[in-house]
Every structure is written in structure tokens, then in C-alpha cells.
């Protein structure tokens, strides 16, 4: 039996993507745990993608994801274990985007010519 592998190339470390992942994996949070997750996420979401002091719903690498995960684990024990695959998918998606951006920069600088 084969199952279709979902495409997570556009996944971000965002509250909406995190909630989508939880729903797709049949993880239901109580109302109080959902509120805690929103509050904790909001506490760390301080910058937008331009580095301005405006929350944008995405935790950038510079927004202390480790502290977010530590607090999440303290306030909602076990949730970070359920989100482990999500965190790995985010890392892979970000690395893929970084690689594509680096390749594009190399091409634009004219360093991709074949010898």
C-alpha cells in the first residue's frame, strides 16, 4: 500500500501552518491549550520578513525558535513531540528555499558558466 507524500515545500514556521499540520494529523488541542499555543507564538513573533518590529505570523530563524519550543514544551507538555515532524519539514523547506536563492544569486552574478 502506497500513500501519497504531501508537498510541504512552501511550509513555514507559522501558526497557521502549525495548526494545519495538527489538523491533518488528527491532533486536537483543548481550548486552553490552543489559547496557550497562540499566546506563546505571539510572544516570540516580533519581526516581519523585512526585519521590522511587526509580527507577521511566522517565526523567523532570528526570532528564537528554541526559546519558543522550550516554553511550548513547558506549557503544553508533549505537543512539541507531536510537532517534531512539522519542525523537520520547516527546516527542509527553508534549506530548499535557501539553496534555490543561492543558485539564483550565482546565476545572476554570472558564476554558473560551464567550463
Cell digits of residue 55: 509580527
Give 2's pLDDT tier (boundaries 50, 70, 90): very low
Q: What is the mean pLDDT of the segment spanning 63-69?
A: 87
Give 62's pLDDT tier (boundaries 50, 70, 90): confident
pLDDT tens digits, 16-33: 999 999 999 999 999 999
Q: Where are the domains of the chain?
A: 15-108
pTM for the structure as a whole: 0.75
Q: Which residues contact residue 64 at a Cβ distance below 8 angstroms, ignoring those fewer than 6 apart?
A: 44
CB 59 within 8 A of CB 45: yes
Ordered DSSP codes for the chain: ---PPP--TT--SBHHHHHHHHHHTT----HHHHHHHHHHHHHH----TTS-SS--SB--GGG-HHHHHHHHHHHSTTHHHHTHHHHHHHHHHHHHHHHHHHHHHHHHTT-----
Give 74's pLDDT tier (boundaries 50, 70, 90): very high
Amino acid at each position: 500500500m502506497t500513500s501519497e507524500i504531501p508537498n510541504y515545500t512552501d511550509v513555514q514556521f507559522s501558526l497557521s501552518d502549525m495548526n494545519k499540520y495538527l489538523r491533518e494529523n488528527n491532533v486536537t488541542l483543548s481550548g486552553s491549550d490552543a489559547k496557550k499555543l497562540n499566546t506563546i507564538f505571539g510572544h516570540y513573533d516580533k519581526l516581519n520578513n523585512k526585519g521590522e518590529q511587526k509580527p507577521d505570523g511566522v517565526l523567523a530563524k532570528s526570532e528564537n525558535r528554541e526559546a519558543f519550543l522550550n516554553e511550548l514544551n513547558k506549557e503544553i507538555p508533549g505537543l512539541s513531540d507531536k510537532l517534531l515532524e512539522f519542525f523537520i519539514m520547516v527546516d527542509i523547506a527553508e534549506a530548499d528555499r535557501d539553496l534555490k536563492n543561492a543558485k539564483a544569486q550565482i546565476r545572476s552574478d554570472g558564476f554558473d558558466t560551464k567550463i
